[in-house]
Amino acid sequence: MTAPLTLDADVLVLGGGPAGTWAALGAAATGARVVLADKGWCGTSGAAAAGGNNLWYLPPTGPARDRAVGHREAAGGHLTDRRWMFRVLDETWQRVADLADWGYPFPVDDTGVQRRGSLQGPEYLRLMRRRVRRAGVRILDHCPALELVTDGAGQVVGAAGRSRHDGWREWRTSAGAVVLATGGCAFLSGALGLNVDTGDGHLMAAEVGARLSGMEFSAAYALAPAFGAQTKGLMMQFATYLDEDDREIDVGDPLAGRDVLARHVLAGRRISARLDRAPAQLRAAARLAQPNYFLPLDKAGIDPFTTAYPIRFVLEGTVRGTGGLHLVDDDCATGVPGLYAAGDAATREFVTGAVSGGGSHNAAWAIASGSWAGAAAGRHARRRRPSGRGLPAGRAGLRPTGAATARHPADIVRAVQEQVMPLDRNYFRTAEGLQDALSVLDGLWYEASTHLAGAGRDALTARQAAAMVAHARWMYRAALARPESRGLHRRDDRPGREPWWSRRLLVHGLDEVRLTVLPPSPSAAPARPGLSLSGGQR
């Protein structure tokens, strides 16, 4: 048996997308020795690397910031935090200036001024990888993390995983602090770039006691060509929607008409889109800004500006949704000593509330939270160093409590997808539907925690399956506990918004999922005692 690869670092960053690379740079700037482990190849894997992203990017002075923050407060169901929003805008402004100094090829306008309001994923992540390497960070490509390691007293002191390119050899890294930047969970729905987003970091964090927030705001679906995986939604503002008889569907605002389209799909009707509302002078620019949206259409011989093409709903879960690990302070700490979270692995309620952060707010959040978490992890590591080998914390999918069974992880993944992907289960929610889904998911969790395990590559697939089961249970427990409709949380049986519920809902636990409702104080990031609820698996 090949001996594990063992490494030592001050800070270990898990995830190599924007949040992870900014975290690595933030930690390295404190003088820390940093290791970054990515499930894919740092610079090409994940949602951001697959396309372009707008940025929530506004100048530090002037009325535009106040207007933007006020608009998001209202749109986000008053679950945002104004102080955090301004912090994110300030940090993003500074870090984008760094990108310009490092040579990112921002386009320029007719006066020669750079347009810094968007980033192209391939160029952006290629530059970030180069900067991370230049900062002295050791990158472990194709090395998915499977579990955290603690010192037995609650301190996170590293992580362990497998190396794809080394015969699935085990790797272990001890560290003074760990930053989770592992992304959200899209349940292997097939959306472009989201094959690595299976909620692994959330499961690892929950196993050491971390809590999650905003998990009910997870029903983020995108519209994609029926024969493609591209879920970028910017072009849909120019869409005319048609039913299977080529009759126009009245959706009102094209960007806010998803509910109407979803009802058509639920009724068994096919829908299509034509981008004929796009002004002629913008069409060439749109192709340059979103080239991978047009690629499958071009291959099919379809000009989407003149010809309708079939579309489908694709679940993006907590990648485009809001939920993630709860943060207890300005440093993006999780409340578990030595563990920090950034990007889509963390909740985005502070900046986007109950609605999707899309590309813009989420992209700014990844930059800001990654920078803060990395710097804080570096400072923490200087104060405390791990001693001894540490205790592995992974359970479901790695160390089941009973005898391992022959059931393949893919079977469990399909069973989870049957509960989270259908529109009448997750998009339009009801108490009855949520309870029915939870009865299945609780059984799947019992199976995963009691019997699911694997060796080599199957260790990764088993762990991913367990993470998706856990993720779905947190989502639906929170959705059942919020008796209203707000943002991405749509309750068909509770269509109105309840003023009392302008507050955040935390979930934690694995075998038994517990919930805490926080006081309605959006200015207070740390959790405070509130109403407790619970739900078991049987």
Among the options 33, 95, 129, 258, which is catalytic? Answer: 258
Q: Could you tell me how far CA 79 lies from the centroid of its own chain? A: 18
**Contact at 8 Å (CB) between 330 and 505?**
no
- Any bridge partners for residue 158, and if so which? 149, 174
pLDDT of residue 524: 35
Residue 162's φ and ψ, nearest 5 degrees, are -130, 150
Distances from the Cα of 291 to the Cα of 186, 283, 287, 490, angstroms: 23, 11, 5, 33
* 8 Å CB contact between 156 and 208: yes
User: Do residues 396 and 446 touch, judged by C-beta distance below 8 A?
Assistant: no
3-state secondary structure 380-394: HHHHCCCCCCCEECC
Tokens at 382, concatenated: 């200087």
The answer for residues whose C-beta is within 8 angstroms of residue 143's C-beta and 6 or more apart is: 37, 38, 39, 161, 162, 163, 164, 171
Q: How far apart are CA 274 and CA 242, in angstroms?
A: 8
Instruction: Residue 5: name the closest of 172, 174, 178, 176 by CA.
Output: 172
160 dihedral zone (left: phi>0; alpha: psi -120 to 50; beta): beta
Q: Which tokens belong to 451? A: 């019997």
Length of the chain equals 538
| All residues at 6 or more sequence positions from 266 whose CB lies less than 8 Å from its CB, including other chains | 423, 424, 428
Whether this model's pTM surpasses 0.75? yes
DSSP E strand boundaries for 371-437: 391-392
Position 526 scores a pLDDT of 37
Nearest residue to 162 via CA among 395, 468, 467, 456: 456
Pairing relationship of beta strands 324-325 and 212-213 according to DSSP bridges: antiparallel
- Whether the Cβ atoms of residue 231 and residue 314 lie closer than 8 Å to each other: yes
d(CA 320, CA 219): 9
pLDDT at 335: 97
Q: In the numeric block, which tokens belong to residue 198?
A: 């299976």
- Tell me if 220 sits within 8 A of 488, measured CB to CB: yes
**pLDDT of res. 61:** 87
Report all structural domains of the chain as residue ranges with CATH numbers, in order of start: 5-215+318-392 (3.50.50.60), 221-315 (3.90.700.10)
User: DSSP string covering 127-170, please?
Assistant: HHHHHHHHTTPEEETT--EEEEEE-SSS-EEEEEEEEGGGTTEE
Which of 79, 157, 213, 144 is CA-nearest to residue 506?
213
pLDDT of residue 433: 98
Nearest to 144 by CA among 173, 175, 124: 173
SS3 372: helix
Catalytic: 258? yes
Q: How far apart are CA 359 and CA 18, in angstroms?
A: 12
User: Comparing C-alpha atoms, which of 464, 495, 308 is closest to residue 398?
Assistant: 464
Cα–Cα distances in Å, from 497 out to 50, 221, 323, 484? 36, 21, 19, 5
Q: How far apart are CA 94 and CA 85, in angstroms?
A: 15
Map 303-337 to HEC letters: CCCCCCEEEEEEECHHHHCCCEECCCCCCCECCCC
- Chain CA centroid to CA 373, Å: 16
CB 243 within 8 A of CB 250: no
Q: Are 100 and 114 in contact (CB under 8 A)?
A: yes
- Beta carbons of 361 and 56 less than 8 angstroms apart: yes
Task: Check residue 471 and give its pLDDT.
Answer: 98
pLDDT of residue 522: 52
CA terminus-to-terminus distance, the chain: 39
- The SS3 call for residue 472 is helix
**Structure tokens of 214?**
């905003």
Q: One digit per residue, pLDDT tens: the chain, 538 residues?
A: 588 899 999 999 999 999 999 999 999 999 999 999 999 999 998 888 887 788 999 999 889 999 999 999 999 999 999 999 999 999 999 999 999 999 999 999 889 899 999 999 999 999 999 999 999 999 999 999 999 999 988 899 999 999 998 889 999 999 999 999 999 999 999 988 899 999 999 999 999 999 999 999 999 999 999 988 888 777 888 999 999 999 999 988 765 688 999 999 999 999 999 999 999 988 988 888 778 888 889 999 999 999 999 999 999 999 999 999 999 999 999 999 999 999 999 999 999 999 998 889 999 999 999 999 999 999 999 887 766 678 999 999 999 998 877 678 999 999 999 999 999 999 999 999 999 999 999 999 999 999 999 888 899 999 999 999 999 999 999 999 999 999 999 999 999 999 999 999 999 999 999 999 999 855 433 333 334 344 554 3
Q: What angle do CA 334, 336, 342 make, to 5 degrees?
A: 30
